[in-house]
Structure 1
Amino acid sequence: MRPNSGIAAPSGEIRVEAGTTELDWELELGVVIGRRARHVGREEAGNYVAAFLILNDVTDRSLIYRKDFPGADWLRGKGMPDSMPAGPYLVPASVIGEIAALRLRLSVNGEVMQDELAGDMILDVPRLIEYLSSRVELRPGDVIATGTPAGTGAERGRFLRDGDVIKAEIDGLGCQTSRIVFGPESGLGDRP
């Protein structure tokens, strides 16, 4: 779950607090629900999708697992304001061919970090919709983030630094370019 304040323009600066040491990228396919969905089977799941878009779920992993918080504090690690670039386009599902064939690619400073087909992800879009709609009612405008392909900074032992440029793209959905800026005006407030 990410608050609406986390949504950012598809290109521009992502401002984070100076001293952040585990800032990570997570390219994800955004799935926009077009009609109410409850207990939807995999076979019908595509009928409930209105559109797709690119999401880069930038995460501060140092805020997720902490000594002062039991378990994982995903909200804090993903709750930074203006830290999830979305777009640049909201592409109608009707113009996207086979979802599984969409290629997701992300590079940092020109080095490819993630490159995978949507169909190779652990949970494909129909399975996500089937699972989520069995637990909650999905409504028009809800956005599902599919999860990220292999190749995150946590896996590579390489996190984002001040000045890094991230290029995220998904076939048919466009491209976004963001620059990481460390500074005091991140909106995070006091760190734990």
Structure 2
Amino acid sequence: MKLLRFGPAGQEKPGMLDGDGQVRDLSAHVTDFAGASVSLEALEALRAIDPASLPLVAEPGRIGSCLASVPNFFCIGLNYAKHAAETGSEPPKEPILFSKASSALSGPYDPVVIPRNSVKSDWEVELGVVIGKTASYVSEAEALSHVAGYCVINDMSEREFQIEKGGQWIKGKSAPTFGPTGPWLVTADEVPDPQALKLSLDLNGETVQDSDTSDMIFGVAEIISYMSQFMMLQPGDIIATGTPSGVGMGMKPQRFLKPGDVMEVRVEGLGEQRQETVAAS
């Protein structure tokens, strides 16, 4: 299934894409997509619904984030071999874990707001993983059975805030609109191998990131298993699994976003995003 949320910000309704790519309204069956409503059990109930029986939404309008909110917005750093190399970093021996503020979550086509005092705002196409079943001390072999689905994430980053101001990375990752997510939550049954997906990002029509998830240092199953040794993952948690090479910080000379730039972000089978950057008011 491909699930989505449509409508004005704060008034989104839950929907499903039918076999023809048309939006069907799921409001009669689920209030929204977040937490327990994206558990494996909840998704199984939705799977039993015939899309043709649902109201057709001829003009869905704005598409929101595929999740209304997240209990936790986790991220993995330096998780592509070529990206670690472009930043001059040694490949990590264990996954680097950090978080984004959940308030960074935004729609896939909403404007990205460059924060006040930002001089190094950067882009990062990533594969997002949504947890569908509580995971605590799970093995790598069991890990993927805890996944509800996958989505596109642009893990926006302000490099000066992240790296040069000390402390934890979360400061450079958490500005409002720094977490475009969606357009769809694609259920796990439609993604047989999360380590075989192409992903790319175009900036103003120029492809700057072009890779696939086989370049990950730590795959999705390893990430989930590893994280579950230290914390309990719960339905609705989202994990941004790292970005490939081609970020602005790694360019020579470095290149960062300015108002009016346009990013087009895609992961194979999971849809495409488009954001224009605007200055903070």
Between the aligned partners of 1:80 and 1:13, the Cα distance in structure 2 is 13
SS of the aligned residue for 1:101 comes to coil
CA distance in 2: counterparts of 1:119 and 1:97, whole angstroms: 14
Question: Are positions 1:65 and 2:163 aligned together?
Answer: yes
- Output the CA distance in 2 between the equivalents of 1:123 and 1:150: 15
* Contact 1:63/1:73, CA 8 A, preserved across alignment: no
1:128 — aligned with what? 223
Report Cα offsets for 1:35-77 as digits up to 9, x if no partner: 01111111111101011011101111111233xx5x4431211
CA distance in 1, matches of 2:142, 2:104: 31
Unaligned runs of 5+ in 1: 186-192
Q: How high is the TM-score relative to the length of structure 2?
A: 0.62
Instruction: Note if contact 1:104-1:116 (Cα within 8 Å) is conserved in structure 2.
Output: yes
Q: Does 2:104 align with 1:6? A: yes
Give the deviation of 1:19 after TM superposition. Answer: 4.8
5 Å matches for 1:148-163?
148-156=243-251, 157-163=254-260
How far apart, in 1, do the equivalents of 2:170 and 2:196 lie?
A: 31
Distance 2:245 2:277 in 1: 21
**Residue 99 of structure 1: aligned partner:** 194
Residue 115 of structure 2 corresponds to residue 44 of structure 1: no
Q: Distance in 2 between matches of 1:126 and 1:17?
A: 34
Match of 2:128 in 1: 30
User: What is the percent sequence identity of the aligned residues?
Assistant: 39
Partner of 1:190: none
String of CA shifts for 1:153-180, please: whole Å, max 9, x gaps: 1001111111110000001100000001
Confirm whether residue 79 of structure 1 aligns to residue 174 of structure 2.
yes
Match for residue 189 of structure 1? none
> Over alpha carbons, which structure has the higher Rg?
2
What is the CA-CA distance between 1:18 and the residue it aligns to?
A: 5.1
2:129 & 2:115 partners in 1: Cα distance? 29
Alpha-carbon contact 1:24-1:160 (below 8 Å) kept: yes
| Count of aligned positions | 181
Partner amino acid, structure 2, of 1:7: L
Partner of 1:179: 276
Shift of 1:97: 2.2
- The residue aligned with 1:55 is 153
CA offset at residue 112 of structure 1? 0.9
Q: Output the CA distance in 2 between the equivalents of 1:104 and 1:72.
A: 30
Deviations 1:118-147 (A, max 9, x none): 121121101101110111111111111101
* Equivalent position of 2:20 in the other structure: none
| Secondary structure of 1:31's aligned partner | strand
Task: Give the structure 2 partner of residue 188 of structure 1.
Answer: none
Give the letter aligned to residue 175 of structure 1: E
- How far apart in 2 are the matches of 1:43 and 1:143? 20
TM-score of the two chains, using structure 1 as the length reference: 0.90
Structure with bigger RCO (C-alpha 8 Å, 6+ apart):
1
Provide the secondary structure at the position in 1 that maps to 2:163: coil
| 214, 238, 242: which one aligns with 1:143 | 238
- 1:135 maps to amino acid: F
Secondary structure of 2:263's partner?
Answer: strand
| Contact 2:257-2:277 at 8 Å conserved across structures | yes
Q: Which moved more, 1:73-82 or 1:144-153?
A: 73-82
Give the letter aligned to residue 258 of structure 2.
R
Please state whether the residue corresponding to 1:21 is helix, strand or coil: coil
* Residue aligned with 1:87, SS: coil
